[in-house]
């Protein structure tokens, strides 16, 4: 298995639902780590390290699943790396 670790920043539409959205992300992706990051002015984003088996699926497939979660507004890929 060739795992790729993808570090992403996920913006949400409603900060009151950020924890529920993080839980939903765990159901559609293999999450190695997930946390909340303050970006300023009371705004938070979800920072996640997601493991993707590049021989089975690319990150595009996982990204599409995350984008379909209600309340997700934007996903930014910060870094991709082999292994964890």
Chunked into runs of 10 residues, the chain (84 residues) has average pLDDT values of 88 97 97 96 96 81 94 95 68
pLDDT of residue 82: 80
User: Is the pTM value of this prediction over 0.75?
Assistant: yes
pLDDT of residue 2: 72
pLDDT of residue 77: 94
Domain count for the chain = 1
Tally of CB atoms within 10 A around 80: 14
pLDDT of residue 58: 77
Using DSSP's 3-state secondary structure scheme, residue 28 falls into helix
List, in sequence order, the alpha helices (H) in 5-83: 18-28, 59-67
CATH number of the domain within which 45 lies: 3.30.70.60
- How far, in whole angstroms, is CA 71 from its chain's centroid? 13
pLDDT of residue 83: 54
pLDDT of residue 51: 93
Q: Which domain holds residue 29?
A: 3-82
């Amino acid at each position: 298995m060739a795992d790729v670790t993808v570090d992403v920043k996920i913006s949400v539409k409603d900060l009151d639902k950020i924890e529920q959205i993080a839980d939903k992300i765990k159901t559609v992706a293999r999450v190695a780590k997930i946390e909340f990051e303050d970006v300023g002015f009371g705004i938070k984003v979800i920072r996640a390290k997601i493991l993707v088996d590049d021989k089975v699926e690319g990150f595009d497939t996982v990204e599409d699943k995350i984008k379909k979660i209600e309340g997700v507004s934007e996903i930014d890929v910060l870094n991709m790396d082999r292994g964890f």
